[in-house]
Structure 1
Amino acid sequence: MSRRAHGQIRSSQVITTYGPGALIDMPKHSAIVGGLETWPKTSDLQEILEPRLTSWLQMMTGVVAPQLFAPPPDSNDPREAARGIGAWRFPEWFIVQEAIGGEERERSRRLVHRKALDDRGRIDGRQVVATRFVRACPKGHVDDLDWRRFVHGADTCLRQLWLDERGTSGDLADLVVRCECGKSRGLYEATVLETNPLGTCWGTRPWLGRNSHEDCQLPSRLLIRTASNAYFPQVVSVLSLPDRGTSVEAAVAELWDDLQIVDDTSGLSFIKRKPKVAERLAPFRDSEVVDAIRAAKTGRTTDRPVKHVELDALLAAPEGFGDDVPINHDFHARRLPDHTWRRAARSDGIEAVVQLHRLREVLALTGFTRLEAVTPDINGEYETDVERAEIALEPRWFPAVENRGEGLFLQLRTEAVKSWLQRPPVTRRLEDLTRGHERWMTGRKAQRPFPGGPYVLLHTLSHLLIQSLSMRCGYPASSIRERIYAHWEGKRFGLLLYTGSPDAEGTLGGLVE
């Protein structure tokens, strides 16, 4: 792995697009983004504090008292040492760019391994590019195609391999892998899973190092490096709420390095001889601190779903217009007085309108999948038994970013939602959607129940409002995000439309107005 900088990405892309394990094309190389072991030391990174998110991550991943750290920023000072995220060159098979022409519309290019290249990354003075075909499995493993095995089967022929293109479409049906010994095989055959043409997965995890493997018996599948199914990040997010950092769980998480050896109240009394520990734990009883420590060690949690807590905070916003001085710079919400909007057309189905003049969203990357995305439930939560590819050999912390911005929350009347669900056209449409969802879930490992009629209503309304807000406030529709709250248990329904930016000052404003 070279220590020189080879490219740049935005900090938010580290969480959503180019996190550990992602395949990326840089100006002169193709690579796979390295795991957390290739990041700078955590002492050189900015820690992001969000106790509700760390508690959620502990429950979901089993990592005890995890921490959150922001991606390393690029320095504008050329005298400073480069700080970045490591990447490994991948794949290791290349195609010689100079093609040898045969018949009309036929071109042949040599397939060569990295070991055949010279110090400048060329062969016989000719430039090469990384092949766009690799193999992968649903567990996230990825590896070079065994090109020789694909063509020859069990034979061990070592003669030159060629990639013949017999057309202009670039489609798999036009590509043939050929050996100078005379054997050849159409690349489209690599997609016929019944014959297992690419063999069993080797469990290769190149983002965690050249020699990182784990047991895997799944069949390998053809993957195009730049395809949309090459990397599905599993990202979880929470909104920062007014009570952030005041719970005993938050205090235990902050002091975990000191408290992880505590088993009872006597041990806690000894540790509290440290002034910082005693000061932070002063608001709590020793018994509840010990209970929180034990819960952290076992991974137990009594926290409600994060969206339930968020909805409580949104509905508890005091009435006002937001022109008062914010006490909390991460969350400043005011419920508009009814008389300011109730007379608007079609407002009968709305219970409350809340303006979020300030909000902070923290997003963390927990892992990823390939080939097939794992979708969270309506609360944004993943199943704890979901198979995800790890982003570190021994995860102890997670990469995260924080976005600051503003938003608009609408609470719908429960009776209005019930009335809408009883309409015959709605009933028929929901039956169609339910059947379609059941067909879509057939054969998938992670089973999700149909999210329900209220979710469909809120999601549809959300997209209509996003288009309208985009035209009125000037934000592109893609920058306005939705957060849906469809809680049948509590008969509470609402949606939050918001925008945010990693910049410390947040967005330019305009959405609330």
Structure 2
Amino acid sequence: MASKKVASARTTQLVSTYGVGALFPAMDESFMVLGLSEWPDQEGTEIAEPRLARALGVQGFRTPPSGGTKGPSVPVIRFPRWYSCPQCHRLDELQRFCSWDEHECPDCHCTLVPSRFVACCPRGHIEDFPYFAWVHAGQRDQQRQGDHRMRLRSSGGSSSLGAISVSCSCGVQDVSMANSFNSDALKKLAPCRGQRPWLHGATDEDCSETLRTLQRGSSNVWFSSVRSALSIPPWSHTVQRLVDRHWKILRNAGSDSLPSLVRDLALPGIDVDDLVAAVEARRAGETSEVPTEHDLRRDEYKALSAGQPDASVHQQFVVRPVGALPETVGDFELVSEVARLREVRALDGFTRVRPHDPQEGLDRRARLTLGSLDWLPAMEVLGEGIFLRFDPQRLAEWETGDFARRRTAAVQQAEDRRAKDWNLTEAVVVRARELLLHTFAHVLLNELSLDAGYPVASLRERVYADDDQAGVLLYTASSDSAGSLGGLAAQSAPERIESVITSAVRRASWCSSDPVCIEATSTGADGLNLAACHACVVLPETSCERQNVHLDRATLVGTLDDPSVGYFGGRLLT
């Protein structure tokens, strides 16, 4: 079967937006990206990040194939399989209309339209919407009569689902799509069959989840599960990057031959003994305990807190503490300029219907391939940013107060309800410092976008809120050189960071939706936010690492009646 190019996408989109199992729109057609075992062998640039690779159980990462005029591309299949004709309204599988490489109605010669609806479950399974079962539900006596030529029509009276109806030539009554999006609409009608069309030759899995009807182009048809890590010392040093580049050769070299081997690879300014030591350290790291997400974040927090001087133009991690902080920024123990950083983001699975939350006890992520692979698709980000570490004593005093406890308890109740509704093994534990740090990161990102020259969608947060952590990293999220122009890191200067923080807190003290917003007791997805809306602290999805949940503006600025209960206690509001 010959292949053809159907559309194009940026390589970074194959990690974040159109990865394995995602639906890719192309003009009047729709395709699904196939699993990694079907991707071209040895294509894409290798990306090294040993800490993240160890955590994900792979040898390394690669950028997705770039395609181009001559290069191999990522393979896709047609999905959904059901199409309709806009002229005669016939509804059927594509293979009953025409051949696999066409999408034209043989009777009307009109371009066919892919099914507008698909059926998905939270474990990543997906299949065509069960039109036959939908139109014949409750009318079983008619299922064996006639030739069952179905049609999909829209009355045109409105854009609602009630205006769309499915009919069948067997004589059953027409059925509208009005109730098809109810959470239990397909529970008894079409149980999930565990279909995985993105994995060529895969058998159906046993699945107890309930299928949900979704729009083919809606964002909840595919949620990427992306794991990321910063390149920190010693892995960010030039010598380690040289080891990464030649690791396939150095990995199995004998102890006797290693010095002579690395001597041929050494660059000017790099000592052979340092290179040998780096190889030995890398080998020891591969036999050590597999790092967890907590381990990765803990090491990053320590590296950001310790700082790293600029010793070489090739260095990928440069963090410099700023000078003495102004009195108005006294709520922070440390503010650092992150002049250079590198982040690697790898796709390690996906979900549908709802995003994957690493803190949940149940892992619903779908597999990217049937077999085992020693690599994952990834992208690297080079950028700059600001790191702020809160005063631990000041933070401890606030988070043990009555106000912080009440706000945390309200969000925890929402998490408990969500765990029950979604049959999770355990609810995510909400902590007061997480609410505070996460909300502060959002309001500061909004403020920095006004001063640093970056749109807020190009900025990103990294929140460190464990028991022994109390910091936020705000950095650029661009995959090209535009992410390191210096405009963001420059805002960390003492004379600038004072006005940025003060202005951010004052701006957060009032929302155009107040007093409704500040007095809200449940907002956002699954009610996991309190005083937070799109007019004040909610950010674009590209900027927030926690899907815009666990946000509460009142933790920063208090309430309208008592601003002093907020962390900043009204000090920056006058």
**Does residue 1:128 correspond to 2:95, yes or no?**
no
The 5-angstrom pairing of residues 317-466 of structure 1 reads: 317=307, 326=312, 328-338=314-324, 342-344=325-327, 346-377=328-359, 386-396=363-373, 397-444=375-422, 445=424, 447-466=426-445
Q: The residue matched to 2:470 in structure 1 has which SS?
A: strand
The 5-angstrom pairing of residues 239-254 of structure 1 reads: 239-244=230-235
The answer to whether the 8 A contact 2:346-2:377 is kept is yes
Report the alpha carbon displacement of residue 251 of structure 1 after superposing the two structures with TM: 7.7
**Does residue 1:163 correspond to 2:149, yes or no?**
no
**Does residue 1:12 correspond to 2:2, yes or no?**
no
Report the alpha carbon displacement of residue 82 of structure 1 after superposing the two structures with TM: 3.4
The one-letter amino acid paired with 2:121 is: C
Distance 1:259 1:194 in 2: 55
The answer to whether the 8 A contact 1:406-1:511 is kept is yes
Alignment identity in percent?
Answer: 29
Query: What TM-score, normalized by structure 1, do the two folds share?
Result: 0.81
What is the number of equivalent residue pairs in this alignment? 466
Query: What TM-score, normalized by structure 2, do the two folds share?
Result: 0.73
**Cα distance 1:167–1:421, how it changes in 2: closer, same or farther (>3 A)?**
same
Q: Work out which of the residue numbers 92, 114, 119 in structure 1 matches 2:81.
A: 92
Report the alpha carbon displacement of residue 32 of structure 1 after superposing the two structures with TM: 0.7
The answer to whether the 8 A contact 1:410-1:496 is kept is yes
**Cα distance 1:55–1:28, how it changes in 2: closer, same or farther (>3 A)?**
same
Report the alpha carbon displacement of residue 458 of structure 1 after superposing the two structures with TM: 0.7
RMSD: 3.4
Distance 1:259 1:242 in 2: 20
**Does residue 1:485 correspond to 2:478, yes or no?**
no
The answer to whether the 8 A contact 1:252-1:259 is kept is no
Q: Work out which of the residue numbers 143, 161, 165 in structure 2 matches 1:172.
A: 161
The one-letter amino acid paired with 1:116 is: R
Q: The residue matched to 1:283 in structure 2 has which SS?
A: helix
The aligned counterpart of 1:236 is: 227
The answer to whether the 8 A contact 1:235-1:366 is kept is yes
Q: The residue matched to 1:122 in structure 2 has which SS?
A: coil
Please give the per-residue CA displacement for 1:307-333, whole angstroms capped at 9, x wherever unaligned: 1000110111157xxxx5545531111
The 5-angstrom pairing of residues 148-297 of structure 1 reads: 148-152=132-136, 155-157=143-145, 158-166=147-155, 168-184=157-173, 185-190=175-180, 191=182, 193=184, 196-209=187-200, 211-218=201-208, 219-244=210-235, 275=261, 282-283=276-277
Distance 2:441 2:66 in 1: 34
Please give the per-residue CA displacement for 1:370-395, whole angstroms capped at 9, x wherever unaligned: 11222134xxxx76x61311111224
**Cα distance 1:271–1:304, how it changes in 2: closer, same or farther (>3 A)?**
farther
**Cα distance 1:311–1:282, how it changes in 2: closer, same or farther (>3 A)?**
same
Tell me which moved more, 472-481 or 325-334: 325-334
The answer to whether the 8 A contact 2:60-2:376 is kept is yes
Distance 1:499 1:439 in 2: 35
Distance 1:303 1:436 in 2: 25
The answer to whether the 8 A contact 1:30-1:91 is kept is yes
The aligned counterpart of 1:105 is: none
**Cα distance 1:182–1:313, how it changes in 2: closer, same or farther (>3 A)?**
same
Structure possessing the higher relative contact order (Cα contacts under 8 Å, 6 or more residues apart):
1
The one-letter amino acid paired with 2:83 is: F
Q: The residue matched to 1:364 in structure 2 has which SS?
A: strand
Q: Work out which of the residue numbers 83, 91, 94 in structure 2 matches 1:114.
A: 94
**Cα distance 1:255–1:510, how it changes in 2: closer, same or farther (>3 A)?**
closer
**Cα distance 1:508–1:239, how it changes in 2: closer, same or farther (>3 A)?**
same
Q: The residue matched to 1:127 in structure 2 has which SS?
A: coil
Report the alpha carbon displacement of residue 477 of structure 1 after superposing the two structures with TM: 1.3
Structure with greater proportional strand content = 1
5+ unaligned residues in a row in structure 2: which ranges? Answer: 265-271, 491-574
The answer to whether the 8 A contact 1:331-1:358 is kept is yes
Tell me which moved more, 138-147 or 347-356: 138-147
Q: Work out which of the residue numbers 440, 450, 469 in structure 2 matches 1:471.
A: 450
The one-letter amino acid paired with 1:475 is: Y
The aligned counterpart of 2:502 is: none
Q: The residue matched to 2:31 in structure 1 has which SS?
A: strand
The aligned counterpart of 1:61 is: none
**Cα distance 1:439–1:245, how it changes in 2: closer, same or farther (>3 A)?**
same
Report the alpha carbon displacement of residue 196 of structure 1 after superposing the two structures with TM: 2.7
**Cα distance 1:257–1:132, how it changes in 2: closer, same or farther (>3 A)?**
farther
Distance 1:34 1:117 in 2: 24
Distance 2:152 2:294 in 1: 56
The one-letter amino acid paired with 1:484 is: V
Distance 1:254 1:510 in 2: 35
Please give the per-residue CA displacement for 1:277-331, whole angstroms capped at 9, x wherever unaligned: 9999953899x99876666xxx855896111000110111157xxxx55455311
Report the alpha carbon displacement of residue 494 of structure 1 after superposing the two structures with TM: 0.7
Distance 1:252 1:11 in 2: 22
The one-letter amino acid paired with 2:363 is: V
Q: The residue matched to 1:208 in structure 2 has which SS?
A: coil
Tell me which moved more, 437-446 or 397-406: 437-446
Distance 1:472 1:192 in 2: 44
**Does residue 1:25 correspond to 2:3, yes or no?**
no
The 5-angstrom pairing of residues 41-120 of structure 1 reads: 41-42=41-42, 44-58=43-57, 65-75=58-68, 78=69, 81-98=70-87, 109-118=89-98, 120=102
**Cα distance 1:187–1:318, how it changes in 2: closer, same or farther (>3 A)?**
closer
**Cα distance 1:408–1:289, how it changes in 2: closer, same or farther (>3 A)?**
closer
**Cα distance 1:139–1:15, how it changes in 2: closer, same or farther (>3 A)?**
same
**Cα distance 1:302–1:135, how it changes in 2: closer, same or farther (>3 A)?**
closer
**Cα distance 1:251–1:57, how it changes in 2: closer, same or farther (>3 A)?**
farther
**Cα distance 1:253–1:66, how it changes in 2: closer, same or farther (>3 A)?**
farther
Report the alpha carbon displacement of residue 34 of structure 1 after superposing the two structures with TM: 1.3
5+ unaligned residues in a row in structure 1: which ranges? Answer: 59-64, 100-108, 261-266
